[in-house]
Copies of this chain bind each other. A is one copy, B any other.
Amino acid sequence: MPSTAPPFKPLPSGEIVYGDLALTSTSARQKSSWLSNLALVAVGIALICNWNRNTQSYDPLLALVGFSIISYVVTLVLIPLLGPEFVRIGFHGRDLGKKDRPLIPETMGAVCALVYLVTMFFFIPFLFYKYIVTDTSGGGNREQGIDIGSTLLHTGQPMRMFPHSKLAEYLAALLSSFSMLVLGVADDLFDIRWRNKLFMPAIAVLPLIFVYYVDFGVTRVVVPKFVYQLVSPNTAELPVTIDLGVLYYLYMLALAIFLPNSINILAGINGLEAGQAFVIAIFLLINDALYVLPSRLFDVSHPATEAHLLSMYFILPLVAVTFALLRFNWFPASVFVGDTYCYFAGMVLAQVGILGHFAKTLMLFLIPQVFNFIYSAPQLFHLIPCPRHRLPKFNIETGLREPSRVAFPEPPKKLQTVMLKLLASVKLIDIEVDSKSGTVVSASNMTLINLVLTWTGPLREDRLAYVILGIQAGTCIAGLLARHTILPMIFGRDNL
């Protein structure tokens, strides 16, 4: 007979619960003003009901835009509503980047993830509308459901087949994101050990990779011309692809592990986690649109259109819920997103890359994350001492952020000194050298955030977030351009 004691942590008495206050303050109320929300929901519903009588057609993409708008409003309403609840049960953190170090709700990304998933649940029948309304007999038996090409059924009715493989892809993707939501919440609850949680995305992505295997099975990748010419210079005809086989599956696994964790590492500034996911998602949308729009406007078809359309289906609601989250998480933040958000958003981005078969292109949008990981590696692998927290220091007098530093009470070893001085000479770290002995006394911590601060000087938190998101956007633009200009030249073709 359990006397259910809900995990309840009473707040320290006399604390400034910034989040709680901010969430119920008038400014936040204005943010989610009822009139504009209602108007948005009305637009959303109108978009969902886009059946066109004249052309007898229904556009799932428009419907999804409608669903996304509604999911944005729902997230916007739910976050301030649930914030105090989250604080009550113990999901709260102290924002050390403010003078009064307010206590605000943590793990609010879980709300986003849930709204996203429920949206995707409701979207299923709309996505497959044309198959279920015009093409199936409804109360048929099993055989009628099986894909049989465009042949005649034994009932004599012509029936376009129901795309079970597409449904399986869709469900597998949702399953992977759901797993990451659970993992994220578990991590926020239990503080799972680093090495354990590193490999959990690999389990979460299993159904997706299986679906990829049976549906596509494409493990051939395009190779640069010159690489192939190096290997066999005498071949006149250039083969454009090589088969990576099992390596390609390992690459997808690695991507699913890397993306959620890399977003989680490039974090700790108001708005940065949600901001970077938002920017990446927007650029993936643009890349998708390059395939989808021409086929819609000019009725030209491209083999990759379908895959990019599916990618849009997954990204649009992510953009919507992330935007709502950002409004509360931007400086000065009234909620934290939690590891939950980073894992979840990272997995959605990874699964889009996998299902859309542009897992390699995706890397072009992750340059800051890749850089941050490589740059952090010496400290992560303890080649250089790594303090427990490497977040930029908050200067309470100026209210600005400054690079945090790692001190060397013992003089660093010879190899370390060489490494540190080398990096300092190319301005990749900032070191402090003892003027007498010439030994390194301290160095800036090796994260992208600290690096930016050593370049720009102290910045207020929101400026810092703008700069880093600017870098993200800049590298995404460069990546997008490279993808469709330089890389096709190197690889000998563009699949656009």
Contact = CB atoms under 8 A, between A and B. Distances in A.
Interface of A: 1-9, 85, 89-97, 101, 106, 114, 117-118, 121-122, 124-125, 128, 131-132, 136-142, 144-149, 161-162, 164-165, 167-168, 171-172, 174-175, 178-179, 181-182, 185, 188-191, 203, 206-207, 210-211, 213-220, 243, 245, 268-270, 336, 391-392, 394
- Pairs A-B, 5 closest by C-beta atoms: A7-B90, A164-B164, A147-B147, A2-B93, A171-B171
A89 B207 contact: no
29 contacts: A1-B95, A1-B268, A1-B392, A2-B96, A2-B336, A3-B95, A3-B101, A4-B106, A6-B190, A8-B9, A9-B9, A114-B182, A117-B179, A121-B179, A121-B203, A121-B207, A131-B214, A138-B217, A139-B218, A139-B219, A141-B217, A145-B215, A146-B147, A164-B167, A164-B215, A168-B171, A174-B175, A178-B178, A181-B182
Nearest to A191: B6
Nearest to A10: B9
A2 B182 CA distance: 21
Contacts of A142: 215-216, 218
Contacts of A145: 165, 214-217
A214 B167 contact: yes
Given A147-B164, A148-B149, A214-B162, A5 B92 contact: yes
B144 A217 contact: yes
A181 B217 CA distance: 32
A214 B96 contact: no
Contacts of A178: 175, 178-179, 182
Given A2-B93, A124-B207, 20 more contacts: A2-B95, A2-B106, A2-B336, A3-B96, A3-B101, A5-B93, A6-B190, A124-B206, A137-B217, A139-B245, A141-B217, A142-B218, A146-B147, A147-B164, A149-B149, A164-B167, A164-B214, A171-B211, A174-B207, A182-B185
Contact of A216 (B2, B141, B164, B189): B141
Contacts of A168: 164, 167-168, 171
Find the residue from A1, A3, A106, A189 having the highest chain B CB count within 10 A. Answer: A1
Contacts of A85: 190
A147 B146 CA distance: 8
A247 B182 CA distance: 34
